[in-house]
Amino acid sequence: MNYSFWFLSFFLATQVVFAQEYPITAVPLSKVKIQPGFWYNRLEAARNVTIPHAFHKIEETGKLDNFAVAGGLKKGTFNGIRFDESDVYKVVEGAAYTLQNKYDPKLDRYLDSLITLFAAAQEPDGYIYTIRTIFKDSTGLKDWIAGPSRYAFENGSHELYNVGHLYEAAIAHFQATGKRTLLDVAIKNANHLVKTIGPKPGQMIVVPGHEETEIALVKLYRLTGEKSYLDLARFFVDMRGRGDKRSLYQDAHNLGPTYFQDLKPVVQQTEAAGHAVRAQYLYAAMTDLAAIQHDQPILDAVMKIWEDATTRKQYITGGVGARENGEAFDEPYVLPNDAAYAETCAATANLLWNHRLFLLTGESKYMDVFERVLYNGFLGGVSIEGNSFFYVNPMSSNGKKDFSNGEPARRSPWFGINCCPSNVARFLPSLPGYIYALRNNELFINLFADSQTEVTMNETPVTIRQQSNYPWDGAIKMTVSPKKAVAFPLLIRVPGWATNQPMPGDLYRYVTQNAPSIKLTINGKVTPVTVEKGYLKLYRTWKTGDVLTLTLDMPVREVVANEKVKATKGKMAIERGPIVYCAEGVDNNGQALGITTSSNQSFTPEFRKELLGGVTVLKSAGAKPVTLIPYYAWNNRGATEMAVWFGSIGK
């Protein structure tokens, strides 16, 4: 790709803005190359299967036709649901990330064709919402899909939610290609919002019903430096819980203000409440504002909410949102197994929020949560092949009926509401951008993945290479190769599971408190290990070819939940490394729900290359042998019983 001098100068300038906002800056996706291994296979599946599959479904279900009809390029009517265009934008975002991973001229041209449709559907003043452009304004609750006028029905219409995903797609596309075509569409809409919504006389007072625009406006501000975008994001956040816009709420489902995180102003909120996806998008935006504006009251609220969400309302897989009604957080410690909702979209939001908290604080606990969600709650949402998905991610299943819709409990190639497949499509290709980070002259390694990056430390280019069989093996080889000898601190995250902490807080604990061993060698010499705030901090003068090997012992661990969690009383779960395990009926004579574990039962790891894309299974011997597989891999061999929590005997 040939970037113009203007683009290079502009992009480099924006990196300075990023560094000034958060104390820590992620090493950009474009500078990290994933090598063959666990995550390489999944990124290739996303590039070759998930994204093409998603585009096919988008075309097949008429979502692209909506843009063409709205833009006057063809005759027809609106197909689908009011927020369907957000799914189109999310897949475009994911496709743009794949272009940064591995450039594909055919995909580049295809995105150009889609952008032509988006631009055609945009109204002259910048407004873009295909269902209203096609149907015009409508009245009555039966027509709540559009509403009587622009933004009057925002809590149900998703007008702002849709364009938020447009902005994120536009930024990703611009960074991948240097083209302004989609970015211009996004900026035109953002300028329309700034002119239309706000506190000034003649402007509308509107609060997004589904929080996404706030995140996206902050991103657009960070890219362009246009402060009015940041101001509008702040306005949207500040207007929550204020009665002077109450008349705008006309909700056909009577969900109420808690569902929208609108019961009280954000600085007074202390609990994770309401729709779990909307909530975490709001919390991520609040974290952005706390970082950029050094806002302590907002940060204090975020920390209290995170504590509640993580230490009282999170499944062992990292899934959140236990309640089907409202796709919402439930009360503390209410974490049912078979009725666990744990939407895949909520896992994505959890990842985005926790990564921001790490960038703000440098604390490893946020990346511990990130890793748990990544390998379990999120990865479980997509099949091994990459073309079928889970909307909900329960902790148990009878293999016959799904609790939410009465259909057989199996993955689906698409849904009537497609937010989860499109979120998988957009997040997976972005993963390389979460592995490394920089703070002043410190380099963080937060995730273990076969990868390579080049960073500049003390004005010296340094190449970092990771090689491992993680998550199946705890030995990680890291090669540091500066252009010349250079001193800088290298911080390597030691996962919580390796220090007897399944997750922050006391929601879960290991039955046996024997700490696994942690071993470090540098150039073959054993080096004393000191873990400080979750990191090994190694300050030395690095020379080309320096090799570190971090070896984390991976025993099979038994986990119990806080006794306040009624659904898991008398039960335990099994983990190894970052992987939560489950039993499937297909491996256990058709039964998984009645499996029990005993005090003298031990599990032996066994890697099976040909099973489920290559996994380490856990096998126990004895009168009742049990085989466990990674939770993320369940339901790839058809509908069958599944359980994460097992009855315990003699524990």
Catalytic residues: 327, 419
Tell me the one-letter amino acid at 346.
A
- Cβ-contact 328, 276 below 8 angstroms: yes
CA diameter of the chain:
77
Distance CA(18)–CA(15), nearest Å, equals 5
Produce one character per residue of 410-433: b if its CB has 16 or more CB atoms within 10 Å, e if not: bbbebbeebbbbbbbbbbbbbbbb
The number of residues making up the chain comes to 651
Distance CA(13)–CA(8), nearest Å, equals 8
Closest CA relative to residue 274, chosen from 349, 356, 367: 349
Q: How far is CA 449 from CA 372, 470, 472, 475, in A?
A: 15, 7, 12, 11
Start-end of H helices in 362-516: 364-372, 419-427
H or E element that contains 444: strand 442-445
Q: Which two tokens stand for residue 171?
A: 């930024």
Q: How far is CA 601 from CA 155, 277, 582, 596, in A?
A: 52, 39, 16, 10
Pairing outcome for strands 596-598 and 646-649: parallel
Start-end of H helices in 313-377: 344-361, 364-372
Produce one character per residue of 556-572: b if its CB has 16 or more CB atoms within 10 Å, e if not: bbbbbbbeebebbeebb
- Cβ-contact 380, 393 below 8 angstroms: yes
Kindly report whether the peptide bond that precedes residue 36 is cis, defined as omega within 30 degrees of 0: no
